[in-house]
Structure formats: structure tokens, C-alpha cells
Amino acid sequence: MPWNNQGGGPWQSGGRGPWGQPPGGGGQGGGKGPQAPDFEDLLRKGQDRFRRAMPGGARSPRLILLVVIGLAVLWLASGFYRVQPDEQGVVLRFGQWVGTTQPGLHYHLPTPIESVTKPKVTRVNREEIGFRSAADTSRSLAARDVPEESLMLTGDENIVDIDFNVFWLIKDAGQYLFNVQNPQSSIKAAAESAVREVVGRNPIQFVLTDGRPTIEAQSRELIQQILDSYNAGITVTEVKLQKVDPPAQVIDAFRDVQRARADLDRQRNEAEAYANDVLPRARGDAERLKQEAEGYREQVVRAAEGDANRFNAIYQEFSQAREVTARRMYLETMERVLGGMNKVIIDPSVSRSGGVVPYLPLNDLQKAPAPTPAPRPQAGPAQ
């Protein structure tokens, strides 16, 4: 039997059991007590069994060498890896980043010397600032507000509640994995800081109305600058404002103030429109009166100067020929006075001597309409 090292039968007198003790249990009278198993003998027997199990027995060392070489080749071939188009390969040597590989087939030293991590670099990630979306999309649950992130101070010392999303993707996988311990937390902190800075430079009216595109663009640039200073390997693609409102506790009062400001602006615009309508008209009337007065003054002055010049000219002619000038002035005056009168004056001496010949007003008779002749009576039948 394999358990007996003494030869003979397994249970001869004085023989030992499988573990070197007598079959009776090793009492006080007959044996030497329990002994430890012989491990060297067991190991030797195991090696003998392995040699007998191998083909050719102990005379096939070449086969063992071939097996070892085959295992080594398989181990070396395990270093080949493929990077997909949406991934980057980060090669680690004993846990230290040694290089970044692009999409394609590559090789690294087999495990455990080197390993590779392949994060997705084309997937757009999102960070929520100021709110948290419902985790279970199958339920219509409203987003949970986070006031410690969303409440911000504007440039005119007003508080505004802003919720926004930051969309980003991995630009350099090695920097992303090893330069920043927690990229998501770093992005969230940088985004919150940047938006607070941009909002703090603008008044609340600008933030609530038409300032959203400007705030989004400036915040994205500032976040990217912060992450680049960390060498985080991240590209911020977009900053999207979701909600820009006053705090919920004062929103009613804020709306009342906004309505009052709207009324003030409306009344101011109406007053400016009325002023813009009245003032130009008054200025136009004043300018017209001024131009008319200047024209009247010019006319009077010119007329007076003309009269004076005419008088001086007549006086010079009168001083040279008094009778002729006086006669001419008399005739011109009478012509001017009597020129518009429809009267005929005849000297009585001429009428008495027959110098005036009466005539028919033929021209007036031609202009008068001819009288219509009366109808003639028709003769009746003969009696």
C-alpha cells in the first residue's frame, strides 16, 4: 500500500498506519505515540506521479520547454489592444501614466507590467448647477432646487435664482484621469464660480431680460480658462441657463416693482413723445414767425429805400424842369387815381360844338343773346 513505508502487510504487528501511527491509536503499552506526516516523502511521491502522467515520463524535457514557450508567447500577445473611434487609450506602467494612444490597433507590455484604460472622449457630459433632475425618468417628478448653488448676487446688489447646465467632453484622456482627482466636482465648482463672477458684473434687469446669451458666452469662456489652468483635459462645449428668476420668497414683491417700473417707463415714454410732438411744432411756429418778421422788415426797408430813391430821382428832374415835371406828375397821378374807374368824361365845349358823334354799342349787342321768336299761330280749317 502507498501509505506503508515498512513493507509487508498493512496491519502487521509493530506496523504503522497511514500517518505513521499504530492502528490501535498509539496507547501507552504498545506504540511510541502520534508522529507528524513526512511532507518531503509526500512531495517526492507527487513529483513521481506527475512524471508518470506526462507523455514519455521524465525523458521529455523538450515538451515542458515548448509548453513554457507557448505560455510566454500567449502572455506577450495579450498586450495587443484596440482603441475605438470614440475612445482614447491611456497606457499605465505599474499604475503610472506613460502615454496616450489614438483610435486604432496598439500594443503595450503585458499585464501586470502595463495596462490600458479607454475612456469615451466623444460623449457629451452634463453637469447640473442649482438643481438636480429627477433620477427616475418614468415618473413625472419636478427637479429639486439647490439654493446654495443657485442664489447669486448681481452687480446692483440684488439676489437672483439661476439654474444652468454645463455640457463638456474629454479633450485629453490622460490629463482628465490623472491631473484632476474629481473632474465632475472640479467642473461644477469652476462653473459656479464663473457664473457668479459674470452675474456679479451686471445689473439684475440685464440678467433677467436680454442678457442670457451674453452671460452664457462669457461664462463658458471663463470656465474653459479655469479648467485649462488645471490641465484638466476637458472642453466646455456649452453653458445653458435654465431658469433666471428672483428668489421665490420675494418674487411677488419683485413683480410689483417690475410692474411699477414698467408703468414709469410707459409714462416717461408718453411724456417724451408728447414733448417731441409739441416742442418741434412750437419751434417751427417760432421760426416761421421769425422768418415772416424778418421778411416783412426786409420788405418795408426795401420799399422805403425805393421810395426815397424814386423821390430823389424825381426831385432831381423837377429841379431841372419844374413845369414839365409838375405836368408829368399830375398826369401820372390822375392816371393812377382814375385808371380803375369805368367812367367817360366829355368836355362840355366839345359836346356843344358837335365834336362827339354818337355810335351804337355793336360789340355789346353782339355779345347779348338773340331774342327767341314767338310761335306763329296756325290757320284753322276753312269754314
pLDDT at res. 135: 60
How crowded is residue 108: how many other Cβ atoms within 10 Å of its Cβ?
20
Residue 234 has pLDDT above 70, yes or no: yes
Residue 358 has pLDDT above 70, yes or no: no
pLDDT at res. 17: 44
C-alpha cell at 361: 354799342
pLDDT at res. 142: 65
Domains in the chain, ordered, with CATH?
43-74 (no CATH), 80-117 (no CATH), 125-134+143-246 (3.30.479.30)
Report the percent of the chain where pLDDT is more than 90.
25
CA separation (Å) from 227 to 124, 129, 198, 282?
A: 16, 17, 17, 63
Question: Where is pLDDT greater, at 351 or 100?
Answer: 100
C-alpha cell at 163: 439654474
pLDDT at res. 356: 63
pLDDT in tens, 13-33: 444 444 444 444 444 444 444
pLDDT in tens, 154-165: 988 888 999 999
Report residue 35 CA to chain centroid gap: 88
Question: Where is pLDDT greater, at 55 or 349?
Answer: 349
Q: Quick one: which of 235, 226, 233 has its CA closest to 100?
A: 233
User: Whole-prediction pTM value?
Assistant: 0.51
pLDDT in tens, 131-161: 888 764 444 456 788 888 889 999 888 889 9
| Interval 294-317 mean pLDDT | 90
pLDDT at res. 378: 53
pLDDT in tens, 197-224: 999 999 988 998 888 999 999 999 999 9
Grid-cell match 452634463, residue found = 126
